């Protein structure tokens, strides 16, 4: 039995969701199974390649819905989970008891743990550490910006490695370990330990770069790092540098996309009032109420900059009107 698991790539919750799903499936569905992992990224154009849905079963976790009949399992918690009204209707009509959605959950991992326990009798106790930390990481539930940026906890170091590693197989090798080993133990794996020192150095350099590039006005930060290879930067650095901010909008670039990241400061004294997922959806992106993103084709620098400028102007105007 071959099960292909599609997960949100370069994302701690995405990797942990794939790990927890695999453990649940092996323990409660069938044990004679080989898992194949495929990372998915938000990009301009089609998100799915149907030819990749080649498992005896195919699962998508922590990523948008696909109405393909080849997808047999789906779990997600993003507010922007459906690419179209037709996809949403398809999900609503599904009777398989294999597809689940709840945007109220901080992490997809904790959502899978709950469903697996309540619907299938899975014991989530052995993965309590994983569930605990995915809620903190994906829900931005750190005590303060300093702890989020200093990254002393093993989960934070793994998050940095997952988001920043250039090795396409890194997360695929990590997922089976996440399902069964303590996070501190995983840091000692040679392939993990080897990538951490250069990534920590890169992280410290990115703090200095963002200190120079970020501009805060009307409690809204803007920065453009498209000329640098920094897409996997720690998204809490802007709030660490500008603790009184409410929102941030950042432009970054990778080999396949220009990304507009839109976020809100989890520690702001003024609660954010704008649903950022709704703003991002206007430009073909999405996310959660408090954090979202838009992916443009790598050739669409100007379109990405226009979108970022419009969003910055809207957020700054919102803050001004609240004062």
CATH of the domain at 309: 3.10.310.30
Domain encompassing residue 282: 217-322
* The model's pTM: 0.86
Domain for residue 111, yes or no? yes
Same domain, 43 and 179: yes
Does 129 share its domain with 271?
no
**Cα-Cα-Cα-Cα dihedral sign, residues 136, 139, 144, 146:** positive
Residues 20 and 110 in one domain: yes
Q: Alpha-carbon distance 70 to 3, whole Å?
A: 11
What are the C-alpha distances in Å from 135 to residues 14, 143, 280, 302, 311?
Answer: 12, 13, 23, 35, 27
8 phi-psi bin (left φ>0, alpha ψ -120 to 50, beta other): beta
Q: Are residues 284 and 137 in the same domain?
A: no
Each residue's pLDDT, cut to its tens digit, for the chain (323 residues) gives 999 999 999 999 999 999 999 999 999 999 999 999 999 987 766 678 889 999 999 999 999 999 999 999 999 999 989 989 999 999 999 999 999 999 999 999 999 999 999 999 999 999 999 999 999 999 989 999 999 999 899 999 999 999 988 898 999 999 999 999 999 999 999 999 999 999 999 999 999 999 999 999 999 999 999 999 887 789 999 999 999 999 999 999 988 899 999 999 999 998 899 999 999 999 999 999 999 999 999 999 999 999 999 999 999 999 998 76
Q: Are residues 30 and 155 in the same domain?
A: yes
Question: Which distant-in-sequence residues (6+ apart) come within 8 Å of 271 by Cβ?
Answer: none
Instruction: Give the Cβ contact number of residue 272 at 10 Å.
Output: 20
Q: From its phi and psi, is residue 12 left (phi > 0), alpha (psi between -120 and 50) or beta? A: alpha
Q: For residues 286 and 280, is the Cβ–Cβ distance under 8 A?
A: yes
């Amino acid at each position: 039995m071959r099960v292909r698991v599609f997960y949100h790539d370069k994302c701690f919750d995405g990797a942990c969701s794939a790990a927890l799903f695999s453990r649940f499936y092996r323990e409660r569905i069938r044990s004679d199974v080989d898992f194949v992992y495929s990372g998915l990224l938000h990009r301009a154009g089609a998100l799915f390649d149907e030819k990749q849905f080649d498992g005896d079963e195919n699962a998508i976790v922590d990523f948008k819905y696909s109405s393909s009949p080849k997808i047999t399992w789906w779990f997600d918690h993003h507010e922007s989970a459906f690419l179209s009204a037709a996809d949403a209707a398809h999900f609503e009509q599904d009777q398989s008891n294999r597809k689940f959605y709840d945007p109220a959950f901080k992490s997809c991992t904790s959502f899978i743990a709950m469903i697996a326990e309540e619907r299938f009798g899975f014991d989530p106790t052995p993965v309590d550490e994983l569930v605990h930390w995915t809620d903190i990481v994906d829900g931005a539930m750190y005590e303060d910006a300093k702890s989020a940026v200093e990254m002393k906890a093993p989960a934070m170091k793994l998050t940095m490695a997952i988001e920043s590693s250039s090795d396409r197989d890194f997360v695929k090798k990590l997922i089976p370990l996440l399902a069964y080993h303590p996070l501190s133990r995983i840091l000692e794996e040679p392939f993990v330990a080897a990538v951490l020192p250069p990534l920590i150095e890169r992280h410290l350099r990115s703090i200095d770069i963002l200190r120079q590039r970020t501009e805060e006005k009307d409690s809204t930060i803007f920065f453009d790092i498209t000329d640098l290879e920094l897409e996997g930067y720690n998204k809490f650095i802007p709030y660490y540098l500008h603790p009184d901010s409410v929102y941030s909008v950042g432009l970054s670039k990778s080999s396949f996309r220009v990304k507009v990241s839109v976020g809100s400061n989890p520690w702001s004294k003024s609660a954010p009032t704008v649903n950022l997922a709704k703003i991002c959806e206007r430009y073909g992106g999405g996310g959660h109420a408090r954090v979202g993103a838009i992916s443009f084709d790598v050739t669409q620098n100007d379109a990405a900059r226009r979108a970022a400028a419009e969003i910055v102007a809207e957020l700054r105007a919102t803050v001004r009107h609240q004062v």
